[in-house]
Structure 1
Amino acid sequence: MRIAKIIDTASVVINAGEDNGIKKGDKFQIIGKKGVEVLDPETGESLGTLDDLKATVIASEIYPHMTIANSEMHEIPGIGSSEMFNAESFQNALGTSQMDIFKKRYVHDRLNVDKSQITGSFKKSNKPIQIGDLVVKEN
């Protein structure tokens, strides 16, 4: 599957649809044309390339031969969010410092890695999504 059209900064059209088994809510990864090569540290042999992940999108409107997919939406807890209007959360927030209210709710645990070997090659790409980019359905 490929990106067939870019509607706006949050919506794209994928060149596959209901006839290809796509359903509303299916997730897709948009992959760039060339990833980062990984070499075996012992032999120097190429192990392949890491995907150049540009974005994850979710199918919102399905047609027989195409799908409109949108970027994921995330709520950031803080002033004005629905969390602040939840009575229990509001009472809990009163017991914290003002800066704690703005902290993100979920973070990844840190792995104990050799920091000198961090390459950053598997992060989301900052390259723009383009017509023709590969689209892969997530399992």
Structure 2
Amino acid sequence: MTRKYKIAKIIDEYQVVVNAGSNDLIHDDDCLEVYQPGQEVTDPDTGESLGTLDFVKAKLRVVNVFPKMCVCENRETEQKSFFSNISQGLFFEETLPMNVQTTDISGGYEGIDKKIKVGDLVRKVN
């Protein structure tokens, strides 16, 4: 059985400590994610469980590894642009809604605490 990792300490808004390290085969630049387990989703045809709709609170990058813990930073970055010419515009991407059957909307992320806290679950991702 795979050991579940957790947030062990919050250093500041930029760095957290996870209770997994080199003893757990964690390396510099590994990708981890902080998540909250979600609702189970079932296949509409077979009734088979497809897993849970987990909410990912943050995607992390390992920056310092110790035997039993590692220090991680946020993998998500923000690009800032400075324009010297007023005629240039600021471009960004916007997610557009899909044309879905609204009566089939069932939600899935209600009641999720989006704040990262000590004890939150962490998993290694490829």
Please give the TM-score of this superposition, normalised by the length of structure 2: 0.72
Please give the TM-score of this superposition, normalised by the length of structure 1: 0.66
* 2:91 matched residue in structure 1: 103
* Aligned residue-pair number: 119
* 1:10 matched residue in structure 2: 14
Indicate conservation of the 8 Å contact 1:3/1:12, yes or no.
Answer: yes
Higher mean Cα deviation, 125-134 or 36-45?
36-45
Residue 11 of structure 2: SS of its match in structure 1?
strand
Q: How far does residue 75 in structure 1 lie from its aligned partner after superposition? A: 3.9
**In the TM superposition, what are the counterparts of 1:35-50 in structure 2 within 5 Å?**
35-42=38-45, 47-50=50-53
Indicate conservation of the 8 Å contact 1:36/1:52, yes or no.
Answer: no
Distance 1:40 1:73, change over 3 A: closer
Higher helix share: 1
* 1:114 matched residue in structure 2: 100
Q: Does 1:29 align with 2:33?
A: yes
The percentage of counterpart residues that share the same residue type is 37
Larger C-alpha radius of gyration, 1 or 2?
1
Alignment partner for residue 24 of structure 2, among 14, 20, 40? Answer: 20
Give CA deviations for 1:29-52 in whole Å, capped at 9, x if unaligned. Answer: 1111x3133244357675432112
Q: Does 1:138 align with 2:125?
A: yes
Distance 1:113 1:72, change over 3 A: same
In the alignment, residue 122 of structure 2 is paired with which amino acid?
V
Q: In structure 1, how many angstroms separate the alpha carbons of the residues matched to 2:113 and 2:59?
A: 13
* 2:54 matched residue in structure 1: 51
Q: In structure 2, how many angstroms separate the alpha carbons of the residues matched to 1:25 and 1:107?
A: 29
Q: In structure 1, how many angstroms separate the alpha carbons of the residues matched to 2:24 and 2:62?
A: 13
Q: In structure 1, how many angstroms separate the alpha carbons of the residues matched to 2:76 and 2:56?
A: 18
Indicate conservation of the 8 Å contact 1:77/1:103, yes or no.
Answer: no
- Which segments of 5 or more consecutive residues in structure 2 lack a partner in the other structure? none
